[in-house]
């Protein structure tokens, strides 16, 4: 059988190619991919920032949904046609992190869709341990948001938010917005700091208090809104220098800061505030299986307004222009590619 796949060829180029479908190997599940969202990491790959890691032969993509199409030797418990999502992490099973139960941040972690073949193709084989089954009634385009939503669940779980706490989310892109939604669901009073007016407008529509640090002093504003206490929990999702300055300046006494963003360069951090206010700093990277379970639950409960969160859905044939549009208009929330038509 011949199938279509988008292949990253370097130089901001995807080529749409036909290839032979590979049968699932031992321990693998073959998936017919329905939808795959475009992640910030995919954009980095497209822009050439990760060429050394990814190469020029790879089908990328990991924010997906689909149905089981076949199973390999030794795999049981799956039926063809069953709706699923994939938790795209392949761990080694024998390193200090794996042995301590932290498989999601395995020392030899392979991120499926970056370090190995991903979901911008019709048929995709993955290890069976990465597959999560979906309820029959979930919309597959919405289900493709479970991966980024699981990131947000993991971030919020690291912070252990208590009902009524003041929460500051620095950066209102797709992950920042999802962190805000999950934090609010956990009982936090959430303020989002963001500089893009389109993203601020979306956040306000979702009922969030917002700050644009370009027009007001964000620390003064947070102090004003919290009776000079500051934010009990701060999520740094912006990956920016001003974001790192704000995270310590806006944190309350004994505040918890969660580092969500990927800082490629080492930022200067105001360590004095850690001493002065007895702050705590938590790292949060990808997700654990239980974060996926929680994300599925929150999605089916309607915590995310999927219809407005998904800005556009385009066919696989349009992947090149979809990526080009996102690089020139970064204020879109979530662009999604429909990989194949799956009857629901
Ligand atoms: Zn992603
Ligand atoms: Zn490991």
DSSP string, 57-111: SB----EEEEEEEEE-TT--S--TT-EEEE--EE--S-SHHHHTT-GGG-TT-EE
- Whether residue 36 contacts residue 339, with contact meaning beta carbons closer than 8 Å, is answered with yes
Whole-angstrom distance, CA of residue 186 vs CA of residue 161: 7
Whole-angstrom distance, CA of residue 9 vs CA of residue 1: 24
Q: Which ligand is nearest the CA of 112, by number?
A: 1
pTM, two decimals, is 0.97
pLDDT digits (tens, 9 = 90+) for 131-169: 999 999 999 999 999 999 999 999 999 999 999 999 999
CB-neighbour burial class of residue 164 (10 A; exposed 0-12, middle 13-18, buried 19+): exposed
Q: Which ligand is nearest the CA of 111, by number?
A: 1
Place of tokens 């979809």: 322
How many angstroms is it from 101 CA to the middle of ligand 2?
9
**The predicted structure's pLDDT at residue 264:** 84
Domain with CATH 3.40.50.720 in the chain: 149-283
How many angstroms is it from 215 CA to the middle of ligand 1?
31
Whole-angstrom distance, CA of residue 160 vs CA of residue 123: 38
- At residue 125's C-alpha, the angle toward residues 81 and 1, to 5°, is 75
- Whether residue 172 contacts residue 193, with contact meaning beta carbons closer than 8 Å, is answered with yes
Q: Tokens standing for 265?
A: 């360069």
B/e letters for 225-263, b = 16+ CB within 10 Å, e = fewer, are bbeeebbbbbbbbbbbeebbbbbbbbbbeebbbbbbbee
Q: Which ligand is nearest the CA of 101, by number?
A: 2
pLDDT digits (tens, 9 = 90+) for 242-279: 999 999 999 999 999 999 999 989 999 999 999 999 99
**The predicted structure's pLDDT at residue 308:** 96
Which residues carry out catalysis? Answer: 41, 44
Domain with CATH 3.90.180.10 in the chain: 2-145+304-338
Domain 149-283 classified CATH 3.40.980.10?
A: no
Place of tokens 């850690």: 274
How many angstroms is it from 174 CA to the middle of ligand 1?
10
Confidence of residue 329 (pLDDT cuts 50, 70, 90): confident
Whole-angstrom distance, CA of residue 231 vs CA of residue 175: 19
DSSP 133-186: E--TTS-HHHHTTHHHHHHHHHHHHHHT--TT-EEEEE--SHHHHHHHHHHHHT
190: β partners: 167
Q: Tokens standing for 338?
A: 């429909």
Mean pLDDT of 281-295: 98
pLDDT digits (tens, 9 = 90+) for 199-255: 999 999 999 999 999 999 999 999 999 999 999 999 999 999 999 999 999 999 999
Under CATH, domain 2-145+304-338 is a member of which superfamily? Medium-chain alcohol dehydrogenases, catalytic domain (3.90.180.10)
How many angstroms is it from 175 CA to the middle of ligand 1?
9
**The predicted structure's pLDDT at residue 331:** 73
């Amino acid at each position: 059988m011949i199938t279509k796949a988008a292949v990253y060829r370097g130089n901001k180029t995807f080529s749409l190619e036909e290839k032979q479908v590979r049968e699932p190997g031992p321990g693998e599940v073959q998936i017919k991919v329905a939808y795959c969202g475009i992640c910030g990491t995919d954009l980095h790959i497209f822009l050439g920032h990760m060429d050394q890691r990814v190469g020029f032969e790879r089908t990328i993509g990991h924010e997906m949904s689909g149905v089981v199409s076949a199973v390999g030797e030794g795999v049981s418990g799956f039926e063809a046609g069953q709706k699923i999502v994939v938790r795209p992490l392949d761990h080694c099973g024998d390193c200090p992190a794996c042995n301590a139960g932290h498989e999601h941040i395995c020392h030899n972690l392979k991120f499926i869709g970056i370090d190995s073949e991903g979901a911008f193709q019709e048929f995709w084989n993955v290890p069976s341990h990465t597959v999560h089954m979906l309820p029959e009634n979930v919309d597959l385009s919405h289900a493709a948001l479970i991966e980024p939503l699981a990131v947000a669940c993991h971030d919020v779980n690291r912070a252990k938010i208590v009902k009524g706490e003041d929460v500051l989310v620095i950066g209102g892109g797709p992950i920042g917005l999802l962190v805000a939604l999950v934090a609010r669901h956990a009982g936090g009073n959430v303020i989002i700091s963001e500089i893009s007016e389109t993203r601020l407008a979306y956040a306000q529509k979702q009922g969030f208090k917002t700050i644009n640090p370009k027009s007001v002093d964000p620390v003064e504003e947070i102090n004003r809104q919290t009776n000079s206490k500051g934010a009990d929990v701060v999520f740094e999702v912006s990956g920016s220098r001003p974001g790192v300055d704000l995270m310590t300046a806006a944190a309350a006494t004994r505040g918890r800061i969660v580092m969500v963003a990927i800082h490629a360069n080492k930022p200067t951090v105001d360590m004095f505030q850690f001493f002065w206010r007895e702050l705590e700093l938590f790292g949060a990277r990808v997700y654990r299986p239980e974060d996926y379970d929680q994300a599925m639950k929150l999605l089916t409960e309607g915590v995310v307004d999927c219809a407005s969160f998904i800005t556009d859905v385009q066919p696989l044939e349009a992947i090149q222009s979809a990526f080009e549009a996102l690089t020139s208009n970064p204020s879109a929330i979530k662009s999604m590619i429909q990989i194949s038509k799956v009857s629901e």
